[in-house]
Amino acid sequence: MKYLHERTSWFSQVIYVTLNLFFKTKMQNHAAAVAYYSLLSIAPLMLFVIYLLNRHFQGYPEVLGAFAEMLVTLHLDFLNTDSIGKMHAISGMLSFSGGVSLLILLWSSKGLMKSVQSAFAVIFADSSKRNFVLSLTLSFLSMPFLFLLLAASMYGDYQASHYDFASVGIPFLAKLLKFSFRMTGLFAPFLGIWAIVFLLYLQIPHNRPRFSSTLIYSFFCTASVYALEMLFAHVVKIEQYISLYGSLGDIIFVLIWVYFGFIQFFLWAQFLFVAGRIDVIALEKIFLASEERTRLEHRIDDYLFNRSSRIFRKYGQSCSKGETIIRQNDDTASIYYLYSGQVGLYRENSGTEIRMGGLRPGEIFGEMAYLLGERRTATVVAETDCFLFILSPETLEALMGYSTKLSRRIIESLCQRIAKMNKGVLVSGFASSTHKLPVFKPGAGAV
């Protein structure tokens, strides 16, 4: 029951942050740009395929018919002029304009990939330059590879319907062969799209997500796209678009379908990013709970994050009054966030511990030892019962890399602390007097 509760909490946090970031970054605009370039890529590619079929498969009317059926299934029959059987009439024109179509295909494919990369730079918070060769390869091969998979599906359906399986001679082998062709026709497009989504999720971000997570969420993305296609087939009637827009109805329908398909694609990419950093995001929301937010955001964040037993159990620690949290001269690097209670800072001088000051809830301490690479310069003791979040250096680095607001707060706190120590005075938030301290020098240690 406890495990189920924590997994539900994790999933709720990921869903909320994913949707919040998705709409905050206006990812639907990126989906519209990709849909536009996709439509530009489809037309020259399909015309080139029609030309190849007309040139090499004139003696196979079943293949031409299967291709025509595929166009209808994909709602691309606006490319099928009158009928597939009349392609010989336009073969000369296609041959003449083949070079132009190829240039349009390369240009639109490159624009499509640039749009995807631009969206991923926002989703994965990554402004690094991409590998030029990899980007160029993905740009030129993504669309042809997709339609190659559709051709494999078409071939599997054709063979399953027209191949003479009785000629094999072995009934079991004939059934197995027929089953294989049917499975090829059924699953080749799904597996191919899954492979493309997986490679894009894994290769385009500079900081690659985990392999296993990428494999899982790319599968969910592909499945959701297929589910969306089935929903479109039952809910949206293409005849309405054709009656309203005439011959442009097919194009508008395809554009809308591709747009929502890429919304799914970017939504799962956002989910992949958030799922890998949800702990860091949750800690940032807890630490910056006092930042300016709407009342609704405060309520949602309080429910999902400030009451998250998973985060509090994983990173939190309760300390009793009088318990020592950090000891002077310790060679440790943990960083602490004071969530509730009060702590005092003490420094030993000639065998006597002198209280230098105290810290309030919401303050971070212990970061100087890690950032400066020194030992602890003071002892920190809980003056009341308190609750702390304990962060590893890696978690702090991830937090600072993710949240500019938190980074600014840590830097400001560090600068103020060093300035006060160099002045020889640390003003206490709790003490009624100040204490003279030696001038701080790098190498002397840090809390």
Q: What is the pLDDT of residue 287?
A: 87
pLDDT above 90 covers a percentage of the chain that reads 25
| 89, 223: one domain | yes
| 152, 261: one domain | yes
Give the 3-state secondary structure of residue 381: strand
Comparing 51-60, 82-91, 200-209, 374-383, the range with the smallest average pLDDT is 82-91
| 119, 188: one domain | yes
Residue 432 lies in a domain: no
Residue 167 lies in a domain: yes
CA dist list (Å): 423 to 368, 380, 416: 17, 21, 11
The average confidence (pLDDT) of the chain is 77
Q: What is the pLDDT of residue 228?
A: 87
| 256, 331: one domain | no
| 167, 272: one domain | yes
Question: Order of strands, edge to edge, in the sheet holding 324-326?
Answer: 324-326, 379-382, 343-349, 352-359
Q: How confident is the model at residue 169 (pLDDT cuts 50, 70, 90)?
A: low
Please enumerate in sequence order all residues whose Cβ is within 8 A of that of 410, keeping only pairs 6 or more positions apart, or say none.
Answer: 364, 367, 400
Residue 294 lies in a domain: no
Q: What is the pLDDT of residue 443?
A: 40
| Phi and psi, residue 402, nearest 5° | -85, -40
Domain that holds residue 40: 2-277
| 177, 74: one domain | yes
Indicate the angle between helix axes 249-287 and 171-203, nearest 10 degrees: 60
| 270, 405: one domain | no
Backbone CA torsion sign across 388, 394, 396, 401: negative
The stretch 398-414 carries a mean pLDDT of 85
292 pLDDT exceeds 90?
Answer: no
Residue 287 lies in a domain: no
Q: What is the pLDDT of residue 68?
A: 66
Backbone CA torsion sign across 226, 228, 229, 231: positive
426 pLDDT exceeds 50?
Answer: no
State how many domains the chain has: 2
Q: What is the pLDDT of residue 271?
A: 97
> Contact, 326 vs 362, CB < 8 A?
no
Q: How confident is the model at residue 439 (pLDDT cuts 50, 70, 90)?
A: very low
Q: Which residue has the higher pLDDT, 68 or 227?
A: 227
Residue 74 lies in a domain: yes
Comparing 200-204, 248-252, 300-304, 394-398, the range with the smallest average pLDDT is 248-252
Q: Which residues pair with 389 in a beta bridge?
A: 316, 337
Q: How confident is the model at residue 3 (pLDDT cuts 50, 70, 90)?
A: confident
Residue 308 lies in a domain: no
Q: What is the pLDDT of residue 437?
A: 34
Q: What is the pLDDT of residue 113?
A: 80
| 273, 356: one domain | no
Rounded CA separation 88/431 (Å) = 93
Q: Which residue has the higher pLDDT, 42 or 365?
A: 365
DSSP state of 352: E
96 pLDDT exceeds 90?
Answer: no
| Phi and psi, residue 361, nearest 5° | -60, 140
Residue 295 lies in a domain: no
pLDDT in tens, 102-122: 677 777 777 788 888 889 989
438 pLDDT exceeds 50?
Answer: no
Which residue type does 434 have?
T
Which residue type does 140 have?
F
The stretch 359-369 carries a mean pLDDT of 87
Question: Whole-model pTM?
Answer: 0.75
Three-class secondary structure assignment of 178-227: HHHHHHHHHHHHHHHHHHHHHHHHHHCCCCCCCHHHHHHHHHHHHHHHHH
CATH number at residue 381: 2.60.120.10
The closest alpha carbon to 124, from 203, 201, 202, 205, belongs to 205
> Contact, 156 vs 188, CB < 8 A?
yes
> Count of residues for the chain?
447
Backbone CA torsion sign across 237, 239, 240, 241: positive
The stretch 323-335 carries a mean pLDDT of 90
Q: What is the pLDDT of residue 27?
A: 93
Q: What is the pLDDT of residue 431?
A: 38
| 254, 327: one domain | no
pLDDT in tens, 227-258: 888 887 777 776 666 666 666 666 777 788 88
DSSP state of 296: H
| 211, 323: one domain | no
The closest alpha carbon to 287, from 319, 335, 332, belongs to 335
Q: What is the pLDDT of residue 338?
A: 93
| 401, 268: one domain | no
> Contact, 273 vs 17, CB < 8 A?
no
| 29, 172: one domain | yes
The stretch 18-28 carries a mean pLDDT of 93
Rounded CA separation 33/29 (Å) = 6
Residue 187 lies in a domain: yes
Q: How confident is the model at residue 81 (pLDDT cuts 50, 70, 90)?
A: very low
